[in-house]
Amino acid sequence: MLNRTSIILTTISWLMFSSIAFAQTQIKDAQGAWLGTMSIPNGPTLRVGVEVFKRANNEWGANVASLDQMSRYMTSDIALQNNILTVQLREAPIKITGQLSADGKTIAAEFTQGDNHWALPLSKVTMLPQINRAQTPTAITTYNENEVRYVNSNDQTWLSGTLTTPKDNLRHPAVMLIAGSGPNQRDSYHNGHRPFKVLADYLTKQGFVVLRADKRGVYQSAGQFKEGDVHNFANDTQAAIQFLKTHDQVDANRIFLIGHSEGSFIAAMAATIEKVQGVISMAGPGMSTLDILLLQDQTEPAAKGATKAETDVLLKFSQPFYRTVLSTTDEHKRKLELQALYDNLTGSRAEIVNKWVAQQGTLNVNLAASNTFYLWLQQNPLDYWAKLAIPALLLNGDKDSQVPAQENIAGLANTLKNNKISYQQYILPGLNHMFQDAQSGANDEYASIEETINPKALDIIGQWLKQQAK
């Protein structure tokens, strides 16, 4: 998704384990999954999960999940000092420390938030509980699924992913799936949905090799997500293409990219630096980042019920907000000036902005003040689409409130037409940004929809790929 919304857990701040002395602990002793339930007096009961594993660069890492809040992949670092294991989230003030029991099956845990302390007993489990959406594959029997790793030779970042292959020894056309903005795990997980797992399952059954990967700094991939930009992500995709070209079951002359939302932009960038045979844009931006954010800051509230008068007020706020980002080179000064825009709001303007967008998504001061966002806001995907000389498929849903279909399909199509590129375009009725059959198209609707990807979208993608791979 284009919205770079950070996951902030309001109910979890610090987790700390008791430190009873046992025999010398090693990080590998904690490898696997841990699950506990925490009851907050006069508050919710939350299931908290922890996974400990080796990342693609063979260093130890961890993942923390707040399962009842559907926050499933929160990348964490793990360390061992004085026999005490520490799991520290990278993007939030959340920490887990403590020792294993003598039998390695439990941890007596304590949850601490400010002056409050609650018990959080953790137990070793085979795997953390999953939300079973209707389309998510549960048993892989008709094709092979393997964990793989490969390196971005530009900066030596190791990436981790899942490769699905037909059950034979033949060479097949291959597809790389590229997720949208944000710290996305390989399945492009959101609200219990795993759209890239659904897409990989569908295409592998059609005879394609499919690679999907964790973004750098996410889950089992190495590196730091917050330090990455679109150029890093394009180079990571280049590394994935190079990996596919060397695989025994891949026809190196028939490799395709599918990018969702910002991933469409990344696909176009990668296709300019590593040869592929075609690109599919799923709800991809067809205008500059600045223009699409100005549009998005109106269409998302409108999908949730904002009036035209209210979205006009929002536009008059977001225009100077983004101008301030672009005109202020110092990160600290940028943050102060952006916060001042909020502080200076008064009357009905303040009420409207606070009601619909205050400190959310790309209008969040901390996010927008970052140098990564400053550079991102200067980008224009069309600069890269204009360089392509390969076939393309353009898809959008007509209820997409994040990347509105008409404007963005038109931008991409006109660029490809001017470059005399063969392309097909579809605006699918009733589908939202995630290609779900939707009512309003608002992003807060995603979780309530059981469908992960509409079958019509899957069929169009599969048919186009088979035609191009002949």
Q: Both 387 and 302 in a single domain?
A: no
In a domain, 148, yes or no: yes
What is the C-alpha separation between 465 and 277, in angstroms, rounded?
10
What is the C-alpha separation between 282 and 397, in angstroms, rounded?
9
pLDDT for the residue 9: 42
Strands 60-66 and 209-213: unpaired
pLDDT for the residue 102: 82
What is the C-alpha separation between 440 and 112, in angstroms, rounded?
40
In a domain, 130, yes or no: no
Tally of CB atoms within 10 A around 70: 15
Range with the lowest mean pLDDT among 23-27, 45-49, 201-205, 279-283?
23-27
Q: Residue 24 — very low, low, confident or very high, per pLDDT cuts 50/70/90?
A: low
Q: Both 210 and 260 in a single domain?
A: yes
In a domain, 37, yes or no: yes
Residue with the two structure tokens 């907000």: 321
Q: Residue 455 — very low, low, confident or very high, per pLDDT cuts 50/70/90?
A: very high
Tokens of 165: 């292959």
User: Rounded to a whole number, what is the largest CA-CA distance in the chain?
Assistant: 70
What pTM was estimated for this model as a whole? 0.91
What is the C-alpha separation between 295 and 289, in angstroms, rounded?
10
Q: What is the mean pLDDT of the chain?
A: 91
In a domain, 8, yes or no: no
CB 200 within 8 A of CB 142: no
Closest CA to 203 of 262, 282, 269: 282
Which strands, in side-by-side order, build the sheet including 109-113? 14-17, 109-113, 116-119
In a domain, 252, yes or no: yes
Q: Residue 21 — very low, low, confident or very high, per pLDDT cuts 50/70/90?
A: very low
Provide the β-strand partners of residue 277: none
The answer on pLDDT for 448 being more than 80 is yes
H-helix or E-strand containing 47? strand 45-54
Please return the burial class of 209, using the count of CB atoms within 10 Å of its CB with bins 0-12, 13-18 and 19+: buried
Q: Both 103 and 205 in a single domain?
A: no
In a domain, 3, yes or no: no
Closest CA to 431 of 413, 409, 404, 408: 404
Q: Both 112 and 201 in a single domain?
A: no
The answer on pLDDT for 133 being more than 80 is yes
Provide the β-strand partners of residue 34: 50, 124
Classify 28 as helix, strand or coil: helix
pLDDT for the residue 115: 74
Domains identified in the chain, total number: 3
Determine the structural domain holding residue 69 and report its residue range.
14-125
Give the residue from 357, 376, 395 where a domain finishes: 376
How is 74-88 classified by DSSP, letter by letter? EEEEEEEETTEEEEE
Report the CATH number that the domain containing residue 47 is assigned in CATH: 2.40.128.20
Amino acid at 137: P
**Over pLDDT 90: what percentage of the chain?**
77
Q: Both 250 and 296 in a single domain?
A: no
Q: Both 157 and 68 in a single domain?
A: no
Q: Both 308 and 426 in a single domain?
A: no
Q: Both 319 and 416 in a single domain?
A: no
Please compute Rg for the chain using Cα positions. 23
Strand segments, DSSP code E, in 55-108 are: 60-66, 71-81, 84-89, 95-98, 106-107
Q: Both 322 and 275 in a single domain?
A: no
What is the C-alpha separation between 387 and 178, in angstroms, rounded?
19
In a domain, 137, yes or no: no
In three state form, how does the secondary structure of 214-269 look?
Answer: CCCCCCCCCCCHHHCCHHHHHHHHHHHHHHHHCCCCEEEEEEEEEEECHHHHHHHH
Tokens of 80: 């061992």
Q: Provide the residue count of the chain.
A: 470
In a domain, 399, yes or no: yes
CB 48 within 8 A of CB 67: yes
pLDDT for the residue 22: 40
**Segment 220-254, tens digit of pLDDT:** 999 999 889 999 999 999 999 999 999 999 999 99
The answer on pLDDT for 39 being more than 80 is yes
Q: Both 279 and 348 in a single domain?
A: no
**Segment 342-391, tens digit of pLDDT:** 999 999 999 999 999 888 889 999 999 999 899 999 999 999 999 999 99
**Segment 52-84, tens digit of pLDDT:** 999 999 999 999 999 998 899 999 999 888 777
